[in-house]
Amino acid sequence: MARLFGTDGVRGLANGELTADLALGVAQAAAVVLGQGRSAEARRAQGKRPVAVVARDPRVSGEFLLAAVAAGLASSGVDVLDAGVIPTPAAAFLIADIDADFGVMISASHNPAPDNGIKIFARGGTKLPDIVEDRIEAAIGKPKLTPTGAEVGRIRRFADAEDRYVLHLLASLPHRLDGIHVLIDCANGAAAGISPEAFTDAGARVTVIGDDPDGININDGVGSTHIDKLAEAVVAHGADVGIAHDGDADRCLAVDANGHIVDGDQIMAILALSMAERGVLNKNTLVTTVMSNLGLRLAMAEHGIDVVQTSVGDRYVLEKMNENDFSLGGEQSGHVIMREFATTGDGILTGLHLVSEMARKGKGLHELATCMTVYPQILVNVRGVDHHRLNEDDVIARAVQSAEAALGSTGRVLLRPSGTEPMVRVMVEAADQDTADRHAHELAEVVRLQLAL
């Protein structure tokens, strides 16, 4: 059977694969595995129950899924604090802030409205390691906790959830945003009730789009997956900068005053240089994935900043950061982790710090982004192939070596097998787009011939 937990929790079509029954079962299993830890036992020794924070993005299906999760936890003897509609990073922060035993976020992030997901966070607001997810999955359908009477959990509203989070964001800023006109695209998602308030309180003049969630319009033509809408709005309103979130606001992409997109790699470059200058970039190191643009690594080398690369996925970035006490990392997609202030990617935090650097330096985003040259990059997905044989094929290995030799120091080749389907991803970077395209399609054809099913 396929593993229930994917790279970012349990995800699927709401009321399709992801039913209320499944949400109830996952919550009951989580209570068995996470509600029996040291902190939970210490609470019980004091006559108290374990505590979990739950929250959701504004998808209509989140209403019944959150109700099922809360019921599963409370029926298992866990006190539930319902934070309502808030961003995923806000939920993670609140778990740590009140020292809850664990927490659950109902969201499918940048996916369309019919999808949803269940993300479980450990104590401290950190993502669960695979081994703990496996224990929860194994506990589904097994004997559950069945307290009665006064031992049954209570469900209460987390009344000041948003205020706690906004105050935390504002306290993190090294410089106010006074005088800067920021246009925010909230993706009709969880950022709508928080991001405009946070930027306004930080001193910015704020214009907002994608801030009218109705349960079914999340990510629909707006947000970080449709950033052209933000680019048009920035130019039309004469804003200084645009900030785009996704449905659960764990991502941030940006647009400069001319409508040019500034991606996660460029944002990380700007923040890394700022943090290094201010002496807060731990070990003078930035953590990225193998998909980050070659230009980011070259820009960091030019300024004496080390770059450590991980597999694709913000969880792997965070693992590397935690292992080595690094303070900044992220992905090209806009998942940026500022570890001093967050345990996961936080789009609002990232946007605030990006605009704060504009204010601190007195420069526009376009000028700040010139710290990095973005090398042309192309990604070709080769479908219907035996991706398991990718690293064993000598013909493919020689083709990659030949392409790398031709590109030299001005390019890069990366072949990755998909983790979920028979597909190989071919990525090539080069000094110009034509060269990148030519090598990528030549390699894709070799992969197609050599790994044909």
Cβ atoms of 120 and 136 within 8 Å: the answer is yes
Task: Classify the C-alpha dihedral 19-25-28-32 as positive or negative.
Answer: negative
Q: Which of 56, 58, 76 is nearest to 66 (CA)?
A: 56
Task: Catalytic residue, from 75, 107, 109, 356: name it.
Answer: 109
Cα–Cα distance, 220 to 390 (Å, whole number): 36
Nearest to 104 by CA among 151, 56, 142: 56
How far is it, in rounded angstroms, from Cα 451 to Cα 447?
6
Question: Which residues have CB under 8 Å from 167's CB, separation 6+?
Answer: none
CB 330 within 8 Å of CB 317? yes
Rounded distance, CA 336 to CA 351, Å? 10
Helix 294-302 and helix 264-277: axis angle, to 10°? 10
253 φ, ψ (degrees, to nearest 5): -120, 160
Please state whether beta strands 412-417 and 423-429 pair in parallel, antiparallel, or not at all (unpaired): antiparallel
Q: Where are the beta strands (DSSP E) in 74-220?
A: 79-85, 102-106, 115-122, 155-157, 181-185, 205-209
Q: Where are the beta strands (DSSP E) in 290-330?
A: 306-310, 328-330
Biggest CA-to-CA distance, the chain: 73
∠ at Cα 122 (120, 123), nearest 5°?
A: 140
Question: Torsions phi, psi of 107, nearest 5?
Answer: -170, 150
Active site residue 109: yes
**One-letter amino acid for residue 5 of the chain:** F
Q: To 10 degrees, the CA torsion angle through 330, 215, 10, 340? A: 30
Distance CA 209, CA 222 (A): 8
Helix (H, G, I), strand (E, B) or coil at 71: helix
Local structure of 24: helix, strand or coil:
helix
Please check whether residue 251 is in contact with residue 335, taking contact to mean a CB–CB distance below 8 angstroms: yes
Q: What is the DSSP string of 264-282?
A: HHHHHHHHHHHHHHTT-SG
SS3 of residue 191 by DSSP: helix
Q: Which residues are catalytic?
A: 109
